[in-house]
A and B are shown apart, each in its own frame.
Chain A
């Protein structure tokens, strides 16, 4: 049996995957830069993150459009169809990741010029974990690596644990000094945004398992 026919469909699927990878890379960088802007109180960097989110949004539409074209014109089935379904679901998660990065960047701008509530330790740690999960979820997608995808469930627990810790800690600052209330609440929001980003990475992991095995499973 000779394989390798349906060249056009194969090329279109490769293109969809590489565009989705590109979107994943932009979203990961956006989160990284947004948290960097928060830690370094860098408003310019925050504004850059907000501006570059347009690229992520544009890519979402472009990929969705391309998925529809391939479905309409190539009538894909089995793994080809599952790959397209996975792209369609992943881009929604990635678009939301981009939005959370923008939310964090906006908080950087809002907090600029005021004395910091506290030195940020756990938030950069959370960001590192969440971005690591996001990058690995996209690597699992690229390689079709369902065991890497499966591990994301466990890693998400660690991010959840840190989020609780950050919230508890900020709560004590908030009680101590009413002047810090607004910024402490903002940092709590950042922790919950990062926790959501890790959830999106976990969702992507679930889609990768579906793409590879055809099974819909919850990994967390």
Chain B
């Protein structure tokens, strides 16, 4: 079904929070430089699934993970793998824009500095490159030293995406990136996704089914912790095979 090269792959992934079994035997292939949308009702485990893809789920007390997640064929949960390194290769953008209460410049340069880049000229160049990628450069170039909190919600979210891009990740995870944005800011982010998928593999979790239909190449439908159906987005939205998928995407589900 998935013909492109596989960037990220989960095999029999299970996640528990204490006794709560949240993700169940989840096996999914995520193709390179494509957008994969994960949809499903609230509480079905999709955010947990997303957070397990870059080991962020380990930050939750009591969380336990079994199974494999392969990034270019290597299991990211292997003991000798450095999770910080993984989070640099697999970046994340959250539901609400969460810029640091610092200048716009510092926000984007932050990850680079963590990576040990200190040369001012190089930092400037990389910050500019990231801001250009998200279409924010022209809007903020004259006020880079002003607080990021001055920006509108949509601009803040694009700044957060620029921050994630600055460290040159290979995969970007997005958890409801447009849910707090108006339609115009949403459209800008969606346009940006089309640009970004030329260079990055993107996994997006969304409640907005129309958004999943508009932006993604592949859609995975998750229900009660399980992967119910996965396929090309047009197949899922035009002729889903599973009755539960059909009921969910047509909204006959309560």
Contacts and interface: CB of A to CB of B under 8 A. Distances in A.
Nearest to B241: A214
A5 B251 contact: yes
A5 B253 contact: yes
B144 interface: no
A3 B238 contact: no
B169 interface: no
Interface in B185-218: 209-210, 213
Interface of B: 209-210, 213, 237-240, 244-247, 249-254
B251 A6 contact: yes
Interface stretch (A65-73, A74-82, A103-111): A74-82
A3 B253 contact: yes
A122 B33 CA distance: 63
Contact of A4 (B209, B210, B252): B252
Contacts of B239: 78, 82, 213-215
Contact of B249 (A10, A78, A214, A215): A78
B254 A214 contact: no
A85 to B, nearest CB: 9
Contacts of B209: 77
A2 interface: yes
Nearest to A5: B254
A115 interface: no
A117 interface: no
B222 to A, nearest CB: 14
A121 interface: no
Q: Is the interface of A mostly helix, strand, loop or mixed?
A: loop
Interface of A: 1-6, 9-10, 75-82, 213-215
Q: Is the interface of B mostly helix, strand, loop or mixed?
A: helix
Nearest to A6: B251
A9 B250 CA distance: 10
Nearest to A85: B238
A75 B249 CA distance: 10
A82 B213 CA distance: 16
Contacts of B252: 3-6, 10
A4 to B, nearest CB: 7
Given A6-B252, A75-B210, 9 more contacts: A3-B252, A5-B252, A5-B253, A6-B250, A9-B250, A77-B213, A78-B238, A81-B238, A82-B239
A5 B247 CA distance: 10
Contact of B246 (A6, A9, A10, A78): A78
B6 to A, nearest CB: 27
Nearest to A80: B250
Nearest to B245: A78
A139 B239 CA distance: 23
A6 B247 CA distance: 11
